[in-house]
Chains A and B, each alone.
Chain A
Amino acid sequence: MHGFGFDVAHMLAGGLVLVSLAMLYQDRLYSLLNTLALHAAVLALSVAWQADIQDAPHLYITAAIALGFKAVAVPMALRRMVFRLGIHREIESVVGVGFTMLAGIGLIALSLVVMLPATTHADPLAREDIALALSVVLIGLLMMVVRRNAVSQVAGFMSLENGIVLAAAGAQGMPLVVEISVAFSVLIAFIVIGIFLFRIRERFDTVDVQALDRFRGERR
């Protein structure tokens, strides 16, 4: 299995981790959304490659969804939202870029340490893929934790979902039902988030989630 196909799959999955790290230090919303689009495009490539080497044509659908929906449609919609809300200024980050990057690297190390020994009996392709996918998931979580802005939290959530799709694609022969549902859940998630963003806007004239903290029920 350690042929060319494996190497390319490995490279693409690694590329996804790299883009995840790149997302961490984007301090402007537009560039963050561009990186998010790139993230989804790398995911689409990676899934399409999996479809090819696993001879699983249904994965092309997942790849197409990733490309069309996550790499084009959602970032465009979010851009429009950012523009309409007039928040295309800098993102305030809770902790500094340096620390965030270090934490990201630590998470990658953690996921390799956890997953590689646990998957010694799984086939090597799934093994590497899952380890890298876990890093993407964890970095997505980190992103959601360190960012306050609702739009960047959404971006973090989407990169997290991308990591999960990568894991699902790497698990050979995973039934189609699940993949469609993954894509579908992202769709729903986006609708819900979209509604929320507008509701938040309606109420507070800001999408800074911190502004919401003032309205905690306990502090009334």
Chain B
Amino acid sequence: MSVAVPIILATPLVAAGVLAVLPGYRVSASVNMAATLIAFLAAASLLAWRPVTGRYLLVDDMNVVFIVLNTFVGFTASVFSASYISYELEQGRLSPGYLKFYHAMYQAMLFGMNLALLANNIGVMWVAVELATLATVMMVGIYRTSAAIEAAWKYFILGSVGIALALFGTILVYVAARPVIGEGSDSMVWTILITRAQAFDPSLLNVAFVFLLLGYGTKIGLAPLHAWLPDAHAEGPTPISAVLSGLLLNVALYALLRFKMLLAANPAALAPGPLMIALGLASLLFAAFMLYSRRDIKRLFAYSSIEHMGIVVFAFGMAGPIGNFAGLLQMTMHSLTKSAIFYSVGHVAQVKGSQRLADIGGLTTSHPVLGWGLVAGVAAIAGMPPSGVFMSEFLIVGSTFAREPWLAAAVALGLLVAFAALLMQLAKIAFGEVRGATGPVRASYLPMFAHLAIVLIAGIFLPGALVRWFQHVSEMLG
């Protein structure tokens, strides 16, 4: 039995407790980084040694992808957070008391997400997603400005409703499983559910999936359930925006995919594809057009997250080996690129003292490293070759075109609209006359460039082992 899984779960939990009482900014930021690094190393070891699946915890090829990505971005975000937060402390936007709270909540959130990804019990998975959500709600409201409180309130209310619907769906899955598997916790263990799913009552599974799609879909940020997402991204601390976009959306998506696999295992149940395609396409088109009229830099990229989650859900809805492969790749690339963008945006907003796009201009002139980093990130997220995002989007459009040309046209339209919008906004931010403060920036560039390098390398050359791994997961997804 491997010790990696207990380490992944226990480290954030212990760290949350320690950080809640630890005084001093420097020490707690280092502890935060150390804890996330330990969790990442433990997660990486899962690639080599796989523990036995138990009744409560599960490690298979699919969630290893998510867990490694999760702990990796969790680690880089904590590195970014250290420099970001020190500035916030100096500016007096955060008091030392709130800083303890912030660090403790950061670890609690990571614990929730790791648990959700590792859980083999659909009830435990739900609890974990709920825990992660509550932790992020607290962090979104941490600045206690009126806008931050409104964002947190909205996030909380919409998130709770979403999570409540997801629980209702989870209960329905249990009701469907009970006549087949029997009473008790066996009927909530995912590995047991999937082997017996073909015998479940299909109509009950259908209704359950609708609730799960709406419930977890709220957390994924699918239009029209996305209203919380831009506010929560814009008003919270930027490390949290990075983690929200890069990780929490993925965790909700992961939960949805697990249930989609249950449905796929039952031949009589409705095909989840068309529902996911419709919601995904709606999010993509809606967000793509919304990108034009943004006035706040963090909101801009929040809408871009909605757009990309729409693409990912669309790809998983199309399914098939290529659709799932592209979905996985797109999700991974989006996590890495979007968090890199937020690492840059965080420092930009700090140095300019504003998040309004009108106050930010000519970044490549005034702050070359930060500015070009942002340019690289936005170019990658917009889908310019040779980034990894280009490759996955190309795969999605290409494979869709072979099967449903009209759908492919709609996706291509959404992608082009978003592409143009992002480049238009980027031109104003990064080039042209310098607007806003031009003071020196004290940033940690390493997390940003590490992510961008991975995205670039993935776009040029994907290692064969990784491709086979993703292909295998795609087959699991059906």
Contact = CB atoms under 8 A, between A and B. Distances in A.
A203 B149 contact: yes
A68 to B, nearest CB: 22
Interface string B111-136: 00000000001011011001000100
Residue from B121, B137, B165, B183 having most chain A Cβ neighbours under 10 A: B183
Interface residues of A, number: 51
Contacts of A188: 134
A115 B204 CA distance: 8
A204 B146 contact: yes
Contacts of A137: 164-165, 168
Interface of B is mostly: helix
Contacts of A120: 201, 203
A153 B134 contact: no
Interface string A193-207: 100100110011000
Nearest to B356: A220
A4 interface: no
A189 interface: yes
A134 B168 contact: yes
Given A185-B127, A189-B160, A217-B234, A177 B185 contact: yes
Interface of A is mostly: helix
A160 B164 contact: yes
B188 A164 contact: no
Given A175-B185, A177-B123, A192-B138, A216 B150 contact: yes
Interface of A: 114-115, 117-123, 126, 130, 133-134, 137, 141, 144, 150, 153, 157, 160-161, 164, 167-168, 171-175, 177-178, 181-182, 185, 188-189, 192-193, 196, 199-200, 203-204, 209, 212-213, 215-218, 220
Contacts, number: 135
Interface in B156-205: 156-157, 160-161, 164-165, 167-168, 170-172, 174-176, 178-179, 182-185, 187-188, 201, 203-204
Contacts of B161: 141, 144, 157, 160
B153 A164 contact: no
Give the bracket for the number of chain B residues in contact with chain A: 35 or more
Interface in B287-303: 295-296, 299
Question: 7 tightest A-B contacts by CB?
Answer: A173-B183, A175-B185, A178-B123, A215-B146, A212-B150, A118-B203, A181-B127
Nearest to B210: A114
B123 A175 contact: yes
Nearest to B231: A217
B428 interface: no
Interface of B: 121, 123-124, 126-127, 130, 134, 137-138, 141, 144, 146-147, 149-153, 156-157, 160-161, 164-165, 167-168, 170-172, 174-176, 178-179, 182-185, 187-188, 201, 203-204, 206-207, 231, 234-235, 295-296, 299, 355-356
Contact of B204 (A121, A141, A217, A218): A121
Nearest to B146: A215
Nearest to A161: B164
B37 to A, nearest CB: 29
Given A164-B168, A209-B153, A218-B296, A173 B127 contact: no
Nearest to B152: A196
Contact of B160 (A121, A122, A130, A157): A157
A117 B203 contact: yes
A218 B184 contact: no
A18 to B, nearest CB: 20
13 contacts: A115-B207, A118-B207, A121-B201, A160-B164, A171-B171, A171-B174, A175-B123, A178-B170, A185-B130, A188-B134, A192-B134, A199-B141, A218-B299
A212 B123 contact: no
Given A172-B178, A181-B123, 12 more contacts: A118-B201, A119-B201, A122-B178, A123-B179, A144-B161, A174-B174, A174-B188, A178-B123, A189-B160, A192-B156, A196-B149, A212-B150
A200 B203 contact: no
Identify which of A134, A144, A196 gathers the most chain B CB atoms within 10 Å of its CB: A196
